[in-house]
Structure 1
Amino acid sequence: MTLTGKGMMIWQIPNCESGNVNTIANMAAAGGFSHILIKIADGSYAYNRDKTTGADLIPPLVSALRAKGIGVWGWHYIYGVNPTGEASIAINQMKKYGMDGYVIDAEAEFEKSGMTTAASTYMSALRAGLPSTPIALCSFRWPTYHPSFPWKAFLDKCDLNMPQVYWMSAHNPATQLTRSLTEFQAISPFRPLTPTGPAFYESSWAPTADEVVSFLNTAKNLGMTAANFFSWDDCRKNLPA
C-alpha cells in the first residue's frame, strides 16, 4: 500500500489544542496534513480516555478529522509482556474506530533476550485479526545500532516502515534519513519507508524550521511518498503569546 503526504502523531488528545477536536481538525487541514496518527492503546490497555469520567476521547476527533477529508491512523506502544493481550486491544480499537491504518511503536523492551517469540506471537495474532489493514512499524532509525531487535518478526507482517529519524543533538536530517534508508535496504524484508521526524524539543535541542524542510525534501528526493512527525503535543507547547 502507499501512504502519501504529511502526518502528525498525537500522543495525548487533551494536550493538543486543549483537547478541542474542531481546532485540531481545522489546524491539520490548514497545515496541509493528509493524515493524523492518534495513540489508541498502551500495552494491553485502551488509551486517550478522560481521566475523570473514563469517556473515550478518540471518536469525536476521528469524526472532526474525517469531516475535513483527513485520514486517521492509530498507533500503539507495545511492551511484549502480554503479546496476545496487546494484539487483542489493537484489533478491538482499530475495528471500533474504523481507522485507515495501524502503527506499532516497539522500542527498547524488544531488545531484551527472547523477545523474538513475543514479537512473532503478537504479529501473528494482529495480522489474523486485521487481515486487510495497512500495518506499519515505528521503531529505531538505524538497525545496525539495534541488532537484537526482532526486525524480521515485525516487518514480515508489516506493509510499511516508519522509523524514528530523530536527529537529536545534531542538525543533519538529510544525512540521517539517507542512512536510515540505506540500512533498511540491507535487511530483509524491506518495507517502504515513511519516516517519522522530530517535532519536539529535548533539553536545549530542537529541530529548526530549515531542518524540517530538509527532512521533507530529502524524503521526497529518496522516493518516499509520505513522512510523519512526533508529536502534536510537543510542537505546540510554549507558543509566543
Structure 2
Amino acid sequence: MRKLTYPLIAAILMIMVSMVPFGTSTAQDSLPIGGKGMFLWHLWTANGGGKNLNTVITKLKSVGVTWLVIKMGDGDSYYNSPNHSLYNWATSNYGSMDSVVAVFHANGIKLLAFQYVYGVPHHWGNPASETDVANSILDVKGIDGLLIDAEIQYDILTTRVAAARAYCDSIHAHHPDAFIGLISWDSITGHRTFPWTTFLDRVDVNMPMMYWAAKSTTPQNILSFMSGQFTYYTKIWVNQGDSAAAKPIMPLGQGEYFGYGNDVRQGDITSFCDLSQTKYNYPGVSLWEYSQISHSYVWNEYAAAWQVTFVSAESNAPIRYNLSQNYPDPFNPTTTINYTVPKNSFVIIRVYDILGNEVTTLVNEEKSVGNYNVQFNGSNLASGIYFYSMHAGNYVETKKLILMK
C-alpha cells in the first residue's frame, strides 16, 4: 500500500484549514509567472550602470519578457544592505528597492530575486544567516518571489537535508504565501547526493539550468536529457509516496557566452523556446544574462519565440492540464471527478485518506488529448475527509473531497 510522506500530509492539513499550501499548488495555470523571463545577474551594472530603468524595461518588453529575476542575496550576504552595490544603486537612483519593484510593476513586469545558498552558517563571515537573507528579500514591498540557487556544497554537506529543510521551512513560517522556486541542476544522476526531494517538496516550481553552449552540446540534447532525468526520478518519488516533489518545470537557458565551452549560436534560442513550449509543454522559459547579451540574434530569436497559442471558441480541445473539484461534494456514496489532458500523457489519479494512506487508484494509463471524468465510489469507506491527486507529466494537483453518510 502506498502512503503519502509527511510533506504532502502537512500540505493536506493546510488545505483543510483553508491556508495556501506552501509548495503544493503545482498546477501550471496557477503559477504567477509564465512565458518568457530573464535572469539579470547584476541589474545595476547593465546598460550604463542601470541608472535608467526605462532602458532595461524597454529592452525586456521589446522581446516579450514579463518577469525579471535579479540577484539579491549570496549566502549570508544581503545585497540590499548599505555596504552592497544593489543598495547604493537603488537608493541613489530610486530611493529604495521597494521603488525599483514599483517601477517594474508599473510597466507590467514582475520582479523576483534569487539567492545563492550553501547550507553553511556564516559562509561569508556575516552574522546573518541564509534564512535571514531570504526573509529580508521577501520583506521587500511588492517582490514577486524568491528563487533558491542551492550551490554544489549541498552535494557533500553532511547536514544538507537538515539545512535545506530548516532554510525552506523558515521561509514558509515567515512568508507562507510567497512564490518560491528552485534553480536546479539539469542532471540528477550527476548530483545524486543533492537533497532533491527536500527542496522540491517545499517549492512551487523547478528551474533546471540549461547551459548547452558551455557544455558544447545543443538545446535539443540538453532538454531531452533533462526531461528524461526528471521524468524518470519523479515517477520514482511519486511511487514512493512523495507526490509533493513533482513540480512544474520551467527551464533556465543560456543567453550569452559564459567564458568557456562554445558561444550561443544562431538558432539556439529558437530551438530552446520552441521545444520547451511545443514538445515538453513547459509553462515558461527564461534566459540567463550575466552582464550584457551582445548578440542581436539572441534578442531577435527570443522576441520571435514562445508565441501564445490561441484556441478558437468553437474548439473543445483543452490547452492545459486541469483537475476539477469533484461533484457533488459532500457526496454519498459516489462522486464525479473531471480532468483535462492537453497532450498525450500517462495519467495517474489516486485517492488517499487523511493519514496519507492510498485508498484506491482511479486512473493509471496513457490518455490522449481530451476532457475526461471518472467516478469514485465510497460505499465501503467511513465518512470523513479524503484527498485525490492527479499526476501527468510535470503536472501535479491535489484536492479535498468529503464523504458524508
Report the TM-score, using the length of structure 2 for normalisation.
Answer: 0.55
Q: Which amino acid aligns with 1:61?
A: V
Match for residue 96 of structure 1 among 140, 146, 150: 140
Match for residue 164 of structure 2 among 89, 99, 119: 119
2:188 pairs with 1:143: yes
**CA distance in structure 2 between the aligned counterparts of 1:185 and 1:55, rounded to whole angstroms:** 44
Q: Does the 8 Å contact 1:44/1:85 carry over to 2?
A: yes
Q: Which amino acid aligns with 1:95?
A: D
**CA distance in structure 2 between the aligned counterparts of 1:127 and 1:52, rounded to whole angstroms:** 28
2:88 pairs with 1:55: yes
Offset at residue 163 of structure 1 (A): 0.6
Aligned to 1:22: 54
Q: CA separation of 1:178/1:51 partners in 2, compared to 1, >3 Å: closer, same or farther?
A: same
Q: CA separation of 1:112/1:4 partners in 2, compared to 1, >3 Å: closer, same or farther?
A: same
Offset at residue 206 of structure 1 (A): 1.4
Q: Helix, strand or coil for the counterpart of 1:34?
A: strand
**CA distance in structure 2 between the aligned counterparts of 1:9 and 1:52, rounded to whole angstroms:** 18
Q: CA separation of 1:48/1:174 partners in 2, compared to 1, >3 Å: closer, same or farther?
A: farther
Q: Which amino acid aligns with 1:192?
A: P
Q: Which moved more, 1:217-226 or 1:107-116?
A: 107-116
Aligned-pair identity in percent equals 27
Aligned to 1:177: 223
TM-superposition CA deviations, 1:174-195 (whole Å, max 9, x none): 2211221221122332211000
Match for residue 265 of structure 2 among 203, 208, 213: 208
Q: Which amino acid aligns with 1:75?
A: F
Q: Helix, strand or coil for the counterpart of 1:149?
A: coil
2:211 pairs with 1:166: yes
Aligned to 2:154: 110
Match for residue 78 of structure 1 among 102, 108, 117: 117
- How many residue pairs get aligned? The number is 239
Q: Which moved more, 1:226-235 or 1:21-30?
A: 226-235
Match for residue 157 of structure 1 among 177, 202, 208: 202
Instruction: Name whichever structure is richer in helix by fraction.
Output: 1
Q: CA separation of 1:60/1:13 partners in 2, compared to 1, >3 Å: closer, same or farther?
A: farther
Offset at residue 127 of structure 1 (A): 1.6
Offset at residue 132 of structure 1 (A): 1.1
Offset at residue 24 of structure 1 (A): 0.7
**CA distance in structure 2 between the aligned counterparts of 1:76 and 1:237, rounded to whole angstroms:** 27
Q: Relative contact order, CA 8 A, sep 6+: which one is greater? A: 1
Q: Which moved more, 1:102-111 or 1:60-69?
A: 60-69
Q: Does the 8 Å contact 2:130/2:167 carry over to 1?
A: yes
**CA distance in structure 2 between the aligned counterparts of 1:121 and 1:51, rounded to whole angstroms:** 26
* Structure 1 ranges of 4+ moved more than 3 A: 48-54, 58-61
Aligned to 1:223: 281
**CA distance in structure 2 between the aligned counterparts of 1:52 and 1:157, rounded to whole angstroms:** 31
Q: CA separation of 1:120/1:206 partners in 2, compared to 1, >3 Å: closer, same or farther?
A: same
Q: CA separation of 1:4/1:44 partners in 2, compared to 1, >3 Å: closer, same or farther?
A: same
Gaps of 5+ in 1: none
TM-superposition CA deviations, 1:144-180 (whole Å, max 9, x none): 1110111111111011000101112324112211221
Q: Which moved more, 1:215-224 or 1:179-188?
A: 179-188
